[in-house]
Amino acid sequence: MMTTQTPPVLSGGMPLIGHLREFRTDPVTLMKRGYEQHGNVFAIRMLNSTIAIVSGAENNRTYFMETDKALNVNEPLEFLRQAFGEAAITSPPEKYKNERPLLQSLFSRAKMVGYIRAMQAEVEAWIEQLGEAGTINISDEMIQLTKAVAGHAFIGPSYKDELPSAFWDDYTVISRSIDPILPPNWPLPKFIRRDRARERMLTVFHQIVGARLANPDQYEDMIQLLATTPLKDGTMLTVDQIAEWFLGLMFAGHETTAGQAAWTVIQLLQNPAYLATVQGEIDRFVPVGTQIDGGVMRHLTHIYLAINETTRMRPSAEILFRLVKEPLELDGYTIPVGWRLMVNAANSHNEATAFSNPEQYDPLRFSSERGEGKNSFKIMGFGGGMHKCTGMNFAKNEMAIIVALLLQQFDLELLTPNPTIYRGLGASRPSEALIRYRRKI
């Protein structure tokens, strides 16, 4: 029999706004304080909403497996739908199920071959322009590099000619408007700027899509795939829909990966013993002149373990929301209809019962011998269940190539020993992190 007891509300909420201020300024401390007081299930209040906060592999499993059943993912994503339109992950459940096979085909193994070539080309071009020696802010550099990779992989090598100079500025405007708390249709300045930027970008995408449709034999890229591949029910995407798909895909293709890539490099430099292991792997399998393909990447075991550990310790996506549509029982509490339900990395990724010495950087915890990552619901960095990020392998491969080629070419020194985490309302990333580099050859 289902209990009627709701989760305990965390102390410290303010009149009217509840825990909103703390959630916006320091959500990790808020999550950890709740865990210390109440364990894996507790509640906070924000404005007129009550939000149940859960963590732990089994609660995460319920969260992801009940999505589109007892839990609704669509309504909490309204802030993304206002930014990018209704496409793929922002679509209602039935529409998403109809679109998902197309989304999966975009990131199939066959397509990944071309994406890997694009990744190598853009990373090598970035490395070449760095020169022989110098200093970079790795956080800013990864934002620019992941934009270039997304443009080349999704639009093709001519992306620089097809995207106007102000194009990425508009993505920055949209990124700064991301806000899962405030109603996204309020006439606030940041939302007005978002809508204007979105219209400008859609105009650009309409032009690019139109060129592909008018000259189908001249292109072989993701837009062409979207234009020629039917959905599950046999229908085709319209030009307007293709433009909205690209608006979201290009954003997802760089926004979260940039922070994770920067943190992966930073954490390797902070841990010289493991860095030496990774360097040996690169020297053996990625010597200068190597054409990277799937065969090469299968040998980069220690790089991928480092990426997994960075996903655990420094996730770009730290929280995920759902709306409760049917009462749901978790750890002896009932989450009522109308509440929001949130999983968070701060607690799940640092549970001592799930990870040995979770405060320590230890990529080998994810090795097959130790197997701390066998239960995929311990980690929520790429989601889970039906809505698990279909671009996960794209992102991990991109990060692996960045690390491999950067350490192939340069000796690196971290000049900012302990960068902090910059948290907006979208993806988190490192604060300024200066790295001195000197070319090896």
Domain of 383, CATH number, reads 1.10.630.10
DSSP string, 241-254: HHHHHHHHHHHHTT
Q: What is the pLDDT of residue 429?
A: 87
Summarised one tens digit per residue, pLDDT across range 303-316 is: 999 999 999 999 98
In a domain, 7, yes or no: no
Of 272, 278, 256, 258, the closest CA to residue 403 belongs to: 278
Q: What is the pLDDT of residue 395?
A: 94
Summarised one tens digit per residue, pLDDT across range 185-240 is: 999 999 999 999 999 999 998 988 888 888 877 777 888 888 888 999 999 998 88
- Nearby residues of 318 by Cβ (< 8 Å), 6 or more positions away: 27, 28, 344, 345, 346, 423, 428
DSSP string, 14-25: BTTTBTHHHHHH
> CA-CA distance, 276 to 278, in Å (whole number)?
5
Q: What is the pLDDT of residue 343?
A: 94
Summarised one tens digit per residue, pLDDT across range 369-389 is: 999 988 889 998 888 888 888
> CA-CA distance, 57 to 40, in Å (whole number)?
10
In a domain, 129, yes or no: yes
Asked whether the beta carbons of 324 and 336 are under 8 A apart, the reply is yes
> Is a pLDDT exceeding 90 seen at residue 80?
no
Q: What is the pLDDT of residue 398?
A: 97
Its pTM stands at: 0.94
Number of domains in the chain: 1
Q: What is the mean pLDDT of the chain?
A: 91
Q: What is the pLDDT of residue 180?
A: 84
In a domain, 344, yes or no: yes
Summarised one tens digit per residue, pLDDT across range 121-160 is: 999 999 999 999 999 999 999 999 999 999 999 988 989 9
> Is a pLDDT exceeding 80 seen at residue 3?
no
In a domain, 289, yes or no: yes
Note down the domain range covering 27.
Answer: 20-439
Average pLDDT over residues 414-439: 88
Above pLDDT 70, what percent of the chain?
98
> CA-CA distance, 240 to 205, in Å (whole number)?
9
In a domain, 14, yes or no: no
> CA-CA distance, 201 to 186, in Å (whole number)?
21
Tell me the one-letter amino acid at 435: I
In a domain, 306, yes or no: yes
In a domain, 8, yes or no: no
Q: What is the pLDDT of residue 219?
A: 78
> Is a pLDDT exceeding 80 seen at residue 424?
no
In a domain, 9, yes or no: no
Q: What is the pLDDT of residue 249?
A: 85
Q: What is the pLDDT of residue 413?
A: 98
- Nearby residues of 273 by Cβ (< 8 Å), 6 or more positions away: none
Summarised one tens digit per residue, pLDDT across range 285-299 is: 999 999 999 999 999
Of 255, 251, 245, 199, the closest CA to residue 222 belongs to: 245
Summarised one tens digit per residue, pLDDT across range 49-77 is: 999 999 999 999 999 999 989 999 888 88
DSSP string, 341-368: EEEEHHHHTT-TTTSSSTTS--GGGGST
Q: What are phi and psi of 40, to 5 degrees?
A: -80, -10
Give the DSSP H/E element, type plus range, for residue 108. none
DSSP string, 288-317: TT----HHHHTT-HHHHHHHHHHHHHS-S-
Q: What is the pLDDT of residue 286?
A: 97
Max CA pair span of the chain = 69
